[in-house]
Amino acid sequence: MAGIIDPELLAAHEDPSLRFLAQLNTADPSPPLEGSDSTDFDDEDLMDPSDLSGIKDVSALMKIINIGRSSPTKQTQNWTHMPRCMTLPEERAALLFAEVVEIVDIIKQKAQQRVEEWKVSENLKKSITTFAKGIILSPTITMYRGNGPAEKVLHAMQTLGIRDMPHPDDLSNMQKVLTEIRHQLTIARNLVKTRICDSIEEDSATRNIGDLAMALTAGTPIQPTVQLLVRLAFLRWHAVSYASLDETQWWPRVDDTLKTWRSTCPTELLLTKAFNKMFDDNKLTYGNPTESELQMVNIRDLPNIQSAIDREASKLDTSRSGGAKRRRVN
């Protein structure tokens, strides 16, 4: 009976799209091709897709369309022009379905690209390394530990439009960037402290603070300034005065000194005087930086990256350290 779907026919077409077309063909059968006993074509026997007027078997038509979509050749490159050659509803339905399937495939591919895990690129890692080391060496930094430095590094990178950064609204991937920044800050702190401790030794090649500054800024866009030397003298004083403290206690001790000095010194002038006193003592003990090969740069001539880092470092809010509690050190 017309309109009744043959179960055997449905079983032969497991693909839902072919079942749909099989229903159309069963409900409104078309006369067989004249002069042909079979419509079971091999791929190489398919006719030019621009000449479909003689095809009335939908399965064969779908075969032509799928070949034209998946592996275009000189014969099948014109499959997109099929609508001009089609007159039967079955033909147009087959092509429409093929177009819909192609669009769905494209959407799935795009969706898959979006859900693929975003990773911090190698170029971005290099930039993060530079910014992290830059802020640890910044003479304007007021806090070395806690969440503040990482947030300021991120803001400096966004301000300068560093490549490969995720969109600011992409909170998940921004957290990945912050995680990498915190990791590089830890590495930078360890490096700086190790270099400073090594420079104290009598036979150290970086005993002169000018040589120490050159070693720490080598391979980076960070330029050595008088202010940097003053800050290195401050850190070196802590390396000598608190030599017994381990890594988890030493940097918090430095932060405590910075906070205490800023709350104790009533004016910026007195604070500067305290830093300069340490610098003068350092020169007497380890040598004057003018005796080294260091070429210092005026603060007005700093590269943009260093200026941006110094600006952000000076804005750190020391009232919220965000770091873990440490044991009290007398």
**For residue range 177-217, what is the model confidence (pLDDT) as tens digits?**
999 999 999 999 999 999 999 999 999 999 999 999 999 99
Stated pTM of the model: 0.64
Confidence of residue 322 (pLDDT cuts 50, 70, 90): very low
pLDDT in tens, 21-69: 556 555 555 555 454 454 454 544 444 554 545 555 556 656 665 655 5
For residue 221, is pLDDT > 90? Answer: yes
The whole-angstrom separation of Cα 90 and Cα 317 is 71
pLDDT at 25: 54
* H helical segments located in the chain: 7-12, 16-27, 58-70, 89-115, 122-136, 148-159, 171-199, 209-217, 226-241, 247-264, 268-286, 304-314
CB 158 within 8 A of CB 150: no
Domain segments of the chain as ranges: 7-115, 122-314
For residue 281, is pLDDT > 60? Answer: yes
- The larger pLDDT score, comparing residue 255 to residue 5, is at 255
